Homo-oligomer: A and B are copies of this chain.
Protein backbone atom coordinates (compact mmCIF):
# COMPACT_ATOMS: atom_id res chain seq x y z
CA UNK A 1 0.00 0.00 0.00
CA UNK A 2 1.16 3.48 -0.83
CA UNK A 3 0.89 6.06 1.91
CA UNK A 4 2.11 9.59 2.04
CA UNK A 5 2.77 11.10 5.39
CA UNK A 6 2.54 14.74 4.56
CA UNK A 7 -0.15 17.33 4.99
CA UNK A 8 -2.75 17.23 2.21
CA UNK A 9 -4.06 20.69 1.40
CA UNK A 10 -7.07 20.09 -0.82
CA UNK A 11 -7.50 23.68 -2.00
CA UNK A 12 -3.85 23.89 -2.98
CA UNK A 13 -4.18 20.62 -4.90
CA UNK A 14 -7.38 21.72 -6.66
CA UNK A 15 -5.44 24.79 -7.77
CA UNK A 16 -2.98 22.65 -9.69
CA UNK A 17 -5.30 21.38 -12.44
CA UNK A 18 -8.22 22.56 -14.52
CA UNK A 19 -9.48 19.60 -16.50
CA UNK A 20 -12.79 17.96 -15.74
CA UNK A 21 -13.70 14.41 -14.72
CA UNK A 22 -10.04 13.53 -14.28
CA UNK A 23 -9.61 12.33 -10.69
CA UNK A 24 -6.31 12.62 -8.86
CA UNK A 25 -5.37 10.57 -5.80
CA UNK A 26 -4.64 12.56 -2.65
CA UNK A 27 -4.52 9.85 0.04
CA UNK A 28 -4.68 6.12 0.57
CA UNK A 29 -5.76 4.38 3.77
CA UNK A 30 -6.66 0.73 4.22
CA UNK A 31 -6.75 0.10 0.48
CA UNK A 32 -9.19 2.94 -0.06
CA UNK A 33 -8.26 6.11 -1.85
CA UNK A 34 -9.33 9.70 -1.43
CA UNK A 35 -9.48 11.31 -4.85
CA UNK A 36 -10.28 14.83 -5.95
CA UNK A 37 -11.75 15.95 -9.25
CA UNK A 38 -13.36 18.94 -10.88
CA UNK A 39 -16.67 18.16 -12.54
CA UNK A 40 -18.36 20.21 -15.21
CA UNK A 41 -21.24 19.11 -17.39
CA UNK A 42 -22.83 15.69 -17.32
CA UNK A 43 -20.73 12.58 -16.80
CA UNK A 44 -21.94 9.24 -18.15
CA UNK A 45 -24.35 6.82 -16.54
CA UNK A 46 -22.35 4.04 -14.92
CA UNK A 47 -22.31 1.45 -12.16
CA UNK A 48 -19.55 0.10 -9.96
CA UNK A 49 -20.44 -3.53 -9.48
CA UNK A 50 -18.27 -4.19 -6.46
CA UNK A 51 -17.45 -0.82 -4.96
CA UNK A 52 -19.37 1.72 -2.95
CA UNK A 53 -18.43 5.31 -3.66
CA UNK A 54 -18.63 8.26 -1.28
CA UNK A 55 -18.92 11.73 -2.78
CA UNK A 56 -18.28 14.93 -0.85
CA UNK A 57 -18.65 18.39 -2.33
CA UNK A 58 -15.89 20.86 -1.49
CA UNK A 59 -17.14 23.67 -3.73
CA UNK A 60 -20.15 24.17 -5.99
CA UNK A 61 -23.41 22.31 -6.47
CA UNK A 62 -23.42 18.69 -7.63
CA UNK A 63 -26.43 16.82 -8.88
CA UNK A 64 -26.10 13.09 -8.42
CA UNK A 65 -28.64 11.56 -10.73
CA UNK A 66 -30.09 8.11 -10.14
CA UNK A 67 -32.71 6.35 -12.22
CA UNK A 68 -35.33 7.10 -9.57
CA UNK A 69 -34.17 10.38 -8.00
CA UNK A 70 -31.70 13.24 -8.05
CA UNK A 71 -29.67 14.23 -5.00
CA UNK A 72 -28.28 17.76 -4.91
CA UNK A 73 -25.13 18.29 -2.85
CA UNK A 74 -23.41 21.51 -1.86
CA UNK A 75 -20.32 22.23 0.25
CA UNK A 76 -19.74 19.78 3.10
CA UNK A 77 -22.51 17.49 1.96
CA UNK A 78 -21.90 13.83 1.11
CA UNK A 79 -23.66 10.92 -0.45
CA UNK A 80 -22.75 7.23 -0.41
CA UNK A 81 -23.55 5.51 -3.70
CA UNK A 82 -23.93 1.78 -3.06
CA UNK A 83 -22.29 -0.70 -5.39
CA UNK A 84 -24.54 -1.79 -8.22
CA UNK A 85 -26.55 1.43 -8.32
CA UNK A 86 -26.46 3.28 -11.62
CA UNK A 87 -25.60 6.96 -11.23
CA UNK A 88 -24.49 10.01 -13.15
CA UNK A 89 -22.86 13.14 -11.73
CA UNK A 90 -24.04 16.38 -13.32
CA UNK A 91 -22.47 19.77 -12.65
CA UNK A 92 -24.15 22.76 -14.25
CA UNK A 93 -21.33 24.94 -12.92
CA UNK A 94 -17.91 23.63 -11.99
CA UNK A 95 -17.85 21.44 -8.88
CA UNK A 96 -14.87 20.47 -6.77
CA UNK A 97 -15.44 17.02 -5.34
CA UNK A 98 -13.73 14.60 -3.00
CA UNK A 99 -14.36 10.87 -3.41
CA UNK A 100 -13.59 7.85 -1.25
CA UNK A 101 -13.52 4.48 -2.90
CA UNK A 102 -11.33 1.39 -3.25
CA UNK A 103 -8.00 1.87 -4.99
CA UNK A 104 -9.29 -0.51 -7.67
CA UNK A 105 -12.27 1.64 -8.68
CA UNK A 106 -12.43 2.74 -12.33
CA UNK A 107 -14.06 6.15 -12.73
CA UNK A 108 -16.53 5.04 -15.39
CA UNK A 109 -17.35 1.73 -13.72
CA UNK A 110 -19.04 -0.60 -16.19
CA UNK A 111 -19.22 2.06 -18.91
CA UNK A 112 -15.64 2.09 -20.12
CA UNK A 113 -14.93 4.44 -22.99
CA UNK A 114 -13.44 7.80 -23.82
CA UNK A 115 -13.97 9.13 -20.30
CA UNK A 116 -12.26 6.19 -18.62
CA UNK A 117 -9.05 6.99 -16.74
CA UNK A 118 -7.21 3.70 -16.47
CA UNK A 119 -4.37 4.81 -14.29
CA UNK A 120 -4.71 7.70 -11.93
CA UNK A 121 -1.88 9.89 -10.76
CA UNK A 122 -1.25 11.18 -7.29
CA UNK A 123 -1.31 14.90 -6.83
Residues of chain B within 8 A (CB-CB) of A4 are 80
* Known contacts A8-B79, A10-B76, then 6 further A-B pairs from the complex at CB < 8 Å, ordered by chain A residue: A5-B81, A7-B73, A8-B80, A9-B76, A11-B76, A32-B32
Q: Closest 10 A-B residue pairs measured CB to CB?
A: A29-B52, A8-B78, A10-B76, A29-B54, A27-B80, A9-B77, A30-B52, A3-B82, A29-B80, A11-B76
Residues of chain B within 8 A (CB-CB) of A71 are 7
**Interface majority SS (helix, strand, loop, mixed), chain A:** strand
Interface residues of A (CB under 8 A from B): 1, 3-11, 26-30, 32, 34, 51-54, 58, 71-73, 76-82, 85, 100-102
Residue of B6, B34, B52 near A100 (CB, 8 A) is: B34
Q: Which residue of B lies closest to A80 (CB)?
A: B27
Complex CA gap A10/B75 in Å reads: 9
